Structure 1
Amino acid sequence: MKPRDLLILIGIIGIVLMMVLPLPTILLDVLLIINISLALTILLLAMNTQDALQFSIFPAILLVTTLFRLALNVSSTRLILSEGHAGDVITTFGSFVAGGELAVGFVVFLILVIVQFLVITKGSERVAEVAARFTLDAMPGKQMSIDADLNAGLINEQQAKERREKIEKEADFYGAMDGASKFVKGDAIAGIIILLINLIGGFAIGMASEGLSFNEAISKYSILTIGDGLVSQIPALLISTAAGIIVTRSASDGNFAEDISSQLLSYPKLLYIVAGTITVLGLFTPIGPVTTLPIAAILVFASYRIQKTMNKQQAEASQMVEEQEIEEVRSPESVVNLLQVDPIEFEFGYGLIPLADAQQGGDLLDRIIMIRRQCALELGLVVPVIRIRDNIQLKPNEYVIKIKGNTIAHGELLLNHYLAMSSGLDDDTITGIETTEPAFGLPALWIDEAMKERAEMSGYTIVDPPSVVATHLTEMIKRHAYELVGRQETKMLVDHLKESSPALVDELIPNILSIGDVQKVLVRLLKEKISIRDLVTIFETLADYGTYTKDHDILTEYVRQALSRQITHQFVGNEEVLRVVTISPAVEKKIAEAVQQTDQGSYLALDPMTSQSIIRKMNDELQKLLQIGQQPIVLASPTVRMYLRGLMERVMPDIPVLSYNELESNVEVQSIGVVNI
């Protein structure tokens, strides 16, 4: 056993022996001073802890100090009743506090007991009881939070273990404090009983054994009783206060003194109001200015000094932040941050700032949220966060849309105007600034408020500037959605699907296809504006055919055929007839014969003259659909669809190319033209 452990063991045994063995007065004086010193130490420790668990031994210390104090009460009572003297400490406390008036001494003692018993002890007991209950109730939620952080990779196993241990210690601590508070409560009651015993017993012994008169007995034993009570209750009051501080402390980064100074004096201007109130009391009440004005002056001076210090600290903090930013720019690692490219950026000139400023009525941020929701529903794609910033290099009314740092679209807006698009019948009375609708390239006019109502009556479609931007941004995201799907985004979609279909994902990845293989198929679908929201069907098809081929183009064709109902609904809608341009058997034969097979896959090796001829004939036939107001669609056989799409992609990227297997059997197909060369 270590000497420290042995010393504490001897001390506990000594406390018990004090209740049985008589102590000399000089030793009692020393122990009483030690008791007061110990109580002060505990109070100061409680005030300087930042967390209750930093003083987790406090419940046990509360029990030991209470037992020590009761042992001193027993020893002092024995000396008072047997010798009529209990040492200099008790006599000094009794004479000094009473000041020659026994009634004053009794009143002070009773006040201390009442404050300790009814205010501090009872309050601490209630707080400890409630804290113990709420800590136990919150344990399951805290445990689940730790498990969630661990599963998400935010913490490691060691950190999770430490957090769980802290939660268990908190529950144990507040439970122990709830029970330890009863010791303090019992100590206060015992103090009152011991007071009565000393007082009544002293009177009786003094008059019967020592032959003292009534007045002499009252004087002698009252002073000793009051001194004994005070020398016990003052340390008890200090420890009860420490218990109250411990159980009422919430989570904080500082100790008790730091919290008071930082929070109570966090608004120094309020001290001016307090000083003014104190001044009014001194000038207009009988209190007088002699007492109030010095205090008001101190408050004003303190407010000024605190405010000046806070301003200096804020200036130093700002300077430090600026120095850190400059240092970061100078550091070699700062160049690495410049390599980060935002997936989507929307930049605008200073004249369009009201679009994004909510205080000026701008709702661009809300519209972008709706755009992301719309893309999720229509394409099954989680659009990354769109970076919005102003750019002084742009014209005041200009904006640009960027994908991965490259500009893909731009436009200009007139905030105080409306975009008017004709339905086909132009009205010469509608005048404005000629422009082009940015999303679809249609001719339009910027008209003012006075012209808006007339344009609506003439059948024009009227769009406000925020809607123009939202529509343009939406179309650009749909057109370039395939560029936003990388392996990391695919992994996120796979993880989301795994929550509902774990068996499907486990079979496909990585046993049949890798994340990269799946990503290439999704990119090909999005490139032709086919929604990938039905991931279950896509993954089922890949799992079925991925064992036979790893060619991404062929796998994409199988997936498109599996999504025939979705594709049919997308291009046919509620119409009964699908009007298309078909490919003649001769042209399909030429395309099929020009397909070259390699180890990396297949590609179309068609001569330039034939390619140009097919494209030219295709354009002529598609114009027939446009003339009757129909969406231009090309229909080909499944064997050549993907090669024909590759041929048309550069010159007609927005023209959908479908195969017969991608349409439902109940769809009536009407050929408006046939591509033949």
Structure 2
Amino acid sequence: MNALSNVKLPPWLQGLANSKNKGSVAAPILIVMLLAMMILPLPAFVLDMFFSFNIALSVIVLLTSLYTVKPLDFMSFPTILLVSTMLRLSLNVASTRVVLTEGHTGADAAGKVIEAFGHFLIGGNYTVGIVVFVILTIINFVVVTKGAGRIAEVGARFALDAMPGKQMAIDADLNAGLIGEADAKKRRSEVSMEAEFYGAMDGASKYVRGDAVAGILVTVINVVGGLLVGLIQHDMVFADALKNYTLLAIGDGLVAQIPSLIISIAAGIVVSRVASDKDIGSQLVGELFAKPEVLYITAGIIGGLGLIPGMPNLVFIMLAGALGGSAYMMTKKKVQKVAADTAAAEAAAPAAAAAASEQEEATWQDIMPVDTLGLEVGYRLIPLVDKTQGGELLKRIKGIRKKFAQEVGFLAPPVHIRDNLELKPSAYRIALKGVEVGTGEAFNGQFLAINPGMATGTLQGMVTTDPAFGLPAVWIDASLRDQAQSLGYTVVDAGTVVATHLNHLITTHASELLGRSEVQSLLDHLGKESPKLVEDLVPKMVSISTLQKVLQNLLMEGVHIRDMRTIIETLAEHAVHTQDPGDLTALVRIALGRAIVQQLFPGSGELSVMTLDNRLERLLMQALAASGPDGAGIEPGLADTIAQQAASAAQQQEALGLTPVLLVPGPLRALLSRFLRRSLPQLKVLSHAEIPESKTIRVTALVGQQPT
């Protein structure tokens, strides 16, 4: 044992010995076996074994195809088709060698299998054998193989043409939250494999066609070659040589063509079946013999033929009786089943009523989860969100979520879309956590011409306003699109109107979309690159609820949270001094000052801002000191004055094409931002500490300045 254990095997033998998947050895062995049959002479007994195995293999393939539910369940079929074809051709080469070298010794020279097919199946008559062989070859080559190849070709073309649509449908379901990433990946793989399968079947059918041609040629070569060998080398009489070698050649051809025909039938079954959840046998029986009316009519026709003189009366009448009896039994079973179902329903009705009365109590199952984001559409807008009708809105919503994640810094929840017959036909409603936050109308097939303030003419159509930004607009027909664009209108289709409105509301309510799970996902994502930074902050120094509040404060004022590293580092630096979310938000804003200013003034070195009048600034500082950070001590008259003057100054800024920004001292920033946010959502309030030193400030207006 020790000596044997020390023997070193070649690397390829060690790989085979150590292979966990023993089936992987089958392919190399099969290739070696095929080459051996072509090159090495085989005894008659070995030929019998291989011919028997070939017949058994073809029967196994046929039965497997019959019990296959869908084509992808038999993905290896194209490869099996190639292997079985090569096996038959190798056997033809091996049997041809034996027939030509030993054919003069008798009909069993090439084995018992060839002898049986040459004698018992065709009665030893080589003329009948030739006819049978030609018929089988024609059936295989012209009928079965050609039809299966055509079906596979069309199936491959349709599968490739439908692949983009199927991929978009999978993306739409994934975007709508109907399936997960794992299910989407599995469905994409199935779509790709289906196209590859039909393409492989299209090519593999050529193997069977070539096999049929090769079978004819091999048979002709065996007959002619056998005659020459028998007459010239073995001095046989012509009649004996013709009989011996023709029977051997026909037997060899039949042994190869019958399994080839079986494999071709299996290929036709696999590619011709329609997708169903049943195997082909159950499908045929369930659909062909499902209606007793059909059997009754067929029995009447066959029975009528059986009464005609000269017809095989007994056979026809027996068949008609069998069909009629089967139809009667099927009808009787249906009546019994209907009666049993009716009785069961009547017996279960009182129990169901009692159970219903008992279940009137509310249960936890009655509580349905509320969708974070929802879009409800009227029935005329269903084509916009129906993937089967080419709706583009699903794709645009996917793009909105991707753009939002890239710009704002977290992934918004999926938008759940459903139809609502209570809405107007062309209306839609956008809901946040079950509460309506936006509504509008979009007319499918028409275009919305929006006046950005520079349009030079009027258009015929239904006057309305842009649902996202409130700009004046007109719904126009498609024929007026070019005219509207030439007049300076911004023209968009109905799907873009809904998508733009949804994008605006998602951005506006970003702070409400950032839940605890989204914050945890942000931490997990950052933890992949900086695990120590996240571990040191949450939950050791700051709780996840405090972090969520800080991020929501930033989003509420339109500050993006893409730079999570800076946010986390700032919180880690100052969390030892304060845990107040407001104070932490102010410190984070200072750290993000450069990004905030760039977001408001992209590519500008000079910042045109509004500021507070000195007198108003002192009053607000005194009120803040007296009332605290909530600003409850500001007098109503002063509050109205600030709101009015801030609105007037913001309008002047917007008229000049500038972003309305109010620059105030740090202690006043949170107070004024909270106070002005409701009446002036477009106004941004910055503190002096948030302005980078490299920027130049230009004051364009003073809020609170006394008129002179």
Residue matched to 1:384: 413
Residue matched to 1:491: 520
Residue matched to 2:642: 614
Residue matched to 1:571: 600
Residue matched to 1:520: 549
Report if the CA contact (8 A) 2:649-2:703 is conserved.
yes
Residue matched to 1:533: 562
- Taking a change above 3 Å as real, the CA distance of residues 429 and 300 of structure 1, as seen in their structure-2 partners, is same
2: CA distance, partners of 1:328 / 1:632: 63
1: CA distance, partners of 2:426 / 2:654: 33
Instruction: Structure 2: state its 5+ residue gaps.
Output: 1-47, 65-276, 306-310
Q: How does 1:604-643 map to 2 (within 5 A)?
A: 605-643=633-671
2:370 equivalent among 338, 341, 352: 341
2: CA distance, partners of 1:397 / 1:367: 19
Residue matched to 2:534: 505
2: CA distance, partners of 1:328 / 1:489: 42
What are the superposed Cα offsets for residues 218-237 of structure 1, whole Å, 9 maximum, x if unpaired?
xxxxxxxxxxxxxxxxxxxx
Report if the CA contact (8 A) 1:591-1:643 is conserved.
no
- Deviation of the 1:298 alpha carbon: 8.5
- Deviation of the 1:362 alpha carbon: 1.9
Residue matched to 1:593: 622
- Taking a change above 3 Å as real, the CA distance of residues 119 and 364 of structure 1, as seen in their structure-2 partners, is same
- Taking a change above 3 Å as real, the CA distance of residues 473 and 611 of structure 1, as seen in their structure-2 partners, is same
2: CA distance, partners of 1:532 / 1:328: 53
* Structure 1 ranges of 4+ moved more than 3 A: 114-120, 260-264, 266-273, 278-283, 285-320, 326-339, 425-429, 596-599, 601-604
What are the superposed Cα offsets for residues 202-249 of structure 1, whole Å, 9 maximum, x if unpaired?
xxxxxxxxxxxxxxxxxxxxxxxxxxxxxxxxxxxxxxxxxxxxxxxx
Report if the CA contact (8 A) 2:410-2:518 is conserved.
no
Report if the CA contact (8 A) 1:400-1:410 is conserved.
yes
Report if the CA contact (8 A) 2:627-2:633 is conserved.
no
Q: Tell me if 1:542 matches 2:559.
A: no
- Taking a change above 3 Å as real, the CA distance of residues 471 and 438 of structure 1, as seen in their structure-2 partners, is same
Query: Partner of 2:416: helix, strand, or coil?
Result: strand
- Deviation of the 1:265 alpha carbon: 1.5
2: CA distance, partners of 1:315 / 1:529: 65
Q: TM-score, normalised by structure 2?
A: 0.52
Report if the CA contact (8 A) 2:613-2:702 is conserved.
yes
1: CA distance, partners of 2:615 / 2:699: 17
Q: Which amino acid aligns with 2:564?
A: L
- The percent of aligned pairs where both chains have the same amino acid is 32
Q: Which amino acid aligns with 2:282?
A: L
- Deviation of the 1:388 alpha carbon: 1.6
- Deviation of the 1:564 alpha carbon: 2.2
Instruction: Structure 1: state its 5+ residue gaps.
Output: 1-110, 128-259
1: CA distance, partners of 2:319 / 2:422: 63
Q: Tell me if 1:582 matches 2:611.
A: yes
Q: Which has the larger radius of gyration?
A: 1
Q: Number of matched residues?
A: 427
2: CA distance, partners of 1:316 / 1:609: 80
> Aligned Cα RMSD in Å?
4.6
- Deviation of the 1:318 alpha carbon: 13
Residue matched to 2:394: 365
2: CA distance, partners of 1:566 / 1:315: 73
Q: Tell me if 1:468 matches 2:497.
A: yes
1:265 equivalent among 282, 292, 295: 282
Residue matched to 1:662: 690
What are the superposed Cα offsets for residues 364-405 of structure 1, whole Å, 9 maximum, x if unpaired?
222222221121112112211222222222222222211122
Report if the CA contact (8 A) 1:354-1:361 is conserved.
yes
- Taking a change above 3 Å as real, the CA distance of residues 261 and 551 of structure 1, as seen in their structure-2 partners, is closer
Query: Partner of 1:549: helix, strand, or coil?
Result: coil
- Deviation of the 1:431 alpha carbon: 2.3
2: CA distance, partners of 1:402 / 1:303: 54
- Taking a change above 3 Å as real, the CA distance of residues 289 and 536 of structure 1, as seen in their structure-2 partners, is farther
Report if the CA contact (8 A) 1:421-1:443 is conserved.
yes
1: CA distance, partners of 2:319 / 2:483: 75
Q: TM-score, normalised by structure 1?
A: 0.54
- Taking a change above 3 Å as real, the CA distance of residues 304 and 558 of structure 1, as seen in their structure-2 partners, is farther
Q: How does 1:639-650 map to 2 (within 5 A)?
A: 639-650=667-678
Q: Tell me if 1:651 matches 2:683.
A: no
1: CA distance, partners of 2:550 / 2:383: 41
2: CA distance, partners of 1:473 / 1:261: 44
Query: Partner of 2:616: helix, strand, or coil?
Result: helix
- Deviation of the 1:645 alpha carbon: 0.6
Residue matched to 1:561: 590
- Taking a change above 3 Å as real, the CA distance of residues 358 and 590 of structure 1, as seen in their structure-2 partners, is same
Report if the CA contact (8 A) 1:268-1:304 is conserved.
no
1: CA distance, partners of 2:390 / 2:379: 16
- Deviation of the 1:546 alpha carbon: 0.9
1: CA distance, partners of 2:381 / 2:526: 40
- Taking a change above 3 Å as real, the CA distance of residues 445 and 310 of structure 1, as seen in their structure-2 partners, is farther
Report if the CA contact (8 A) 2:511-2:555 is conserved.
yes
What are the superposed Cα offsets for residues 382-434 of structure 1, whole Å, 9 maximum, x if unpaired?
21122222222222222221112221111112223211122434444522211
What are the superposed Cα offsets for residues 437-492 of structure 1, whole Å, 9 maximum, x if unpaired?
01111111111122211111112110111100000011011111111223233223
- Taking a change above 3 Å as real, the CA distance of residues 448 and 535 of structure 1, as seen in their structure-2 partners, is same
1:481 equivalent among 510, 528, 537: 510
Report if the CA contact (8 A) 1:596-1:604 is conserved.
no
Q: Which amino acid aligns with 1:471?
A: T
1: CA distance, partners of 2:441 / 2:429: 9
- Deviation of the 1:308 alpha carbon: 10
1: CA distance, partners of 2:332 / 2:566: 71
1: CA distance, partners of 2:460 / 2:54: 88
Q: Which amino acid aligns with 2:545?
A: G
Query: Partner of 1:595: helix, strand, or coil?
Result: helix
1: CA distance, partners of 2:690 / 2:345: 63
Report if the CA contact (8 A) 2:609-2:661 is conserved.
yes
Q: Which amino acid aligns with 1:486?
A: G
Report if the CA contact (8 A) 1:541-1:562 is conserved.
yes
Q: Which amino acid aligns with 1:671?
A: V
Residue matched to 1:143: none
1: CA distance, partners of 2:335 / 2:317: 28
Q: Which amino acid aligns with 1:635?
A: L
